[in-house]
């Protein structure tokens, strides 16, 4: 695989294998157009074997601003970037590589970071969750970013429900969270925030069947799955008149942080309704 290109202006991209499904080009393309920024954002197919060659080529390309990173490269990409924020020891995966000035004034450097934690937090930043009980379903990559964010907020006890309970217990320890790890069928107890961070409910995956009757009236239900957008979990929460946050909120939130770092401009968040319409067309 070769990654030569004819770019004559700044560009960024999302890399993955497969990559055709990614919504990142639509999001970043929309913001670039609204702001009238003379730059591109594209999707580039990169296989695991091609990853070292990809970073070698892009490092030498002055037009390349950076890339979003998706499955299966979120961990392997750490070997090709500077990990100034210590992401390897916390979230354990990056979703953004970025060209920045080198610390030693020798040209530039590529750093890795993760905007999923900030993207998850943005839609719930107005909630007071300090000391509040939280339930998270899932213990994969998305859950790691979410638990990292929850540990920074200082939430109360965290219950993680996951198929692999040991993996969930290890995450509580990794993020210094008090709480418990339980199997998926343990049921949802009372909590202030319920997050589905698993693949359950996603198109092509088994459904997520949970009973929300134990949730208090002011509980917030957050589903990170965005395909479909209206998941069975969110439907059940709305049927109970609970506040909900959907997967596009997090997806747009993580992209907004990345956009600012890639293109040095704040995305036009007052156009979110138009963007959501574009993404759900
Ligand atoms: P991942 O690392 O592969 O983790 C998948 C999680 O789902 C694990 O907890 C896994 O349980 C569980 N799971 C998968 N299949 C299952 C099954 N058949 N039965 C029971 N549990 C199952 O994936 P991820 O990257 O965390 O992604 C999870 C979801 O979050 C996906 O739908 C993804 O699209 C979404 N996501 C959304 C955003 C956003 O911005 N909105 C960002 C990232 C991810 P085990 O641990 O037991 O295997």
| pLDDT above 80 for 1 | no
Confidence class of residue 231 from pLDDT cuts 50, 70 and 90? very high
pTM for the model: 0.94
pLDDT at 102: 66
C-alpha of residue 1 to centroid of ligand 1, in Å? 29
pLDDT in tens, 2-29: 777 777 899 999 999 999 999 999 999 9
Q: Tell me which residue has its CA closest to atom 21 in ligand 1.
A: 163
C-alpha of residue 147 to centroid of ligand 1, in Å? 14
Question: Which ligand 1 atom sits nearest the alpha carbon of residue 164?
Answer: 47
Q: Average of pLDDT values for 186-211?
A: 96
C-alpha of residue 225 to centroid of ligand 1, in Å? 9
pLDDT at 132: 98
Domains of the chain: 11-114+252-279 (3.40.50.10860), 118-245 (3.40.50.720)
Distance CA 150, CA 132 (A): 10
Q: Which residues are catalytic?
A: 74
Distance CA 196, CA 114 (A): 19
Distance CA 220, CA 198 (A): 17
């Amino acid at each position: 695989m070769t990654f030569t290109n004819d770019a004559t202006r700044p560009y960024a991209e999302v890399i993955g294998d497969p990559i055709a499904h990614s919504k990142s080009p639509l999001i970043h393309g929309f913001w670039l157009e609204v702001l009238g920024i003379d730059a591109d954002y594209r999707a580039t197919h990169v296989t695991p074997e091609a990853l070292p060659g990809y970073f070698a080529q892009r490092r030498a390309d002055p037009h390349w601003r950076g890339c979003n990173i998706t499955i299966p490269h979120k961990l392997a990409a750490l070997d090709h970037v500077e990990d100034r924020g210590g992401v390897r020891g916390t979230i354990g995966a990056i979703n953004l590589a970025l060209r920045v000035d080198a610390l030693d004034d020798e040209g530039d450097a590529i750093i890795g970071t993760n905007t999923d934690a900030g993207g998850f937090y943005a839609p719930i930043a107005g909630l007071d969750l300090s000391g509040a009980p939280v339930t998270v379903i899932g213990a994969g990559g998305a859950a790691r970013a979410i638990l990292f964010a929850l540990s920074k907020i200082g939430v109360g006890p965290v219950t993680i429900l996951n198929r692999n309970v040991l993996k969930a217990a290890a995450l509580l320890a990794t993020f210094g969270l008090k709480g418990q790890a339980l199997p998926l069928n343990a049921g949802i107890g009372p909590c202030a925030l319920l997050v589905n961070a698993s693949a359950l409910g996603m198109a092509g995956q088994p459904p997520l069947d949970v009973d929300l009757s134990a949730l208090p009236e002011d509980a917030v239900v957050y589903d990170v799955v965005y395909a479909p957008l209206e998941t069975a979990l969110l439907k059940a929460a709305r049927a109970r008149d609970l506040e909900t946050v959907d997967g596009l909120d997090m997806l747009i939130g993580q992209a907004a942080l990345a956009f600012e770092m890639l293109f040095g401009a704040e995305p036009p968040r007052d156009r979110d309704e138009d963007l959501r319409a574009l993404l759900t067309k």
